[in-house]
Amino acid sequence: MTVFRSTLSAVAAAALLAACNLAGARSKPVALPDPAVDVAANPAATTETAVFAGGCFWGVEAVFEHVRGVKSAVSGYSGGSAPSARYLLVSTGRTGHAEAVRVVYDPKQVSYGQLLKVFFSVVHDPTQLDRQGPDVGPQYRSQIFAANREQQRVAEAYIAQLEAARAFAGPIVTKVAPLDGFHPAEAHHQDYLEHHPDEPYIVYNDAPKLVHLKRMFPALYRAPHG
């Protein structure tokens, strides 16, 4: 059952926390090796784009916004066949879209491989199929949308590397596919953690990810603006 993520009453908040526990939301990140292969640096490139899906886009966006070298992180939808996407339709799980985040970054400050490492270790649990914690459905799947063949090659190689190292207790279910469109989400979904830091869903599911990011990636962590 998909949890409808809105402002919660005390009773609903308690039920959500119980659901999170029952759903096995991962409370600790996983220490992972650096990617053995990475996207070759292009000295002429000032920015590159990567798109990741790993559950509710609020937390995915918040983590990447705090990664040094990331210029912007935008919540949206990818992977569906429809020419447009809206939350109420995507949340039915029938459009084929995943909640995703478009990350624009400076490859001179952070590499694609480093973003992958953050994605797998801090952002989400890549062993949960079509869900993350309390959120259930194909729209919450783990997927990497590669902007080009090089990204796809590196992402697939890193997954194979992690599987060979048995980095996780279960198999990695993350899909890798070419990026075929990205639809920005509605305005109220953007920078959601920043605007709603005390919402129970955020406190339990997403705020800890920033703590883990700072602890595990001190050289990459960027403090909030202001």
Nearest to 103 by CA among 77, 71, 76: 71
Strand partners, 102: 51, 74
- C-alpha 121/C-alpha 212 separation (Å) is 9
Strand partners, 73: 103
DSSP-assigned states of every residue in 18-35 = HHHHHHT---S----PPP
Could you give the 3-state DSSP secondary structure of residue 174? coil
Catalytic residue among 17, 32, 51, 56: 56
Could you give the 3-state DSSP secondary structure of residue 214? helix
> What are the distances in angstroms from CA 77 to CA 139, 165, 168?
9, 31, 27
Q: Is 20 a catalytic site residue?
A: no
- C-alpha 192/C-alpha 99 separation (Å) is 14
Query: Cα-atom radius of gyration of the chain, to the nearest Å?
Result: 16
The residues that are catalytic are 56
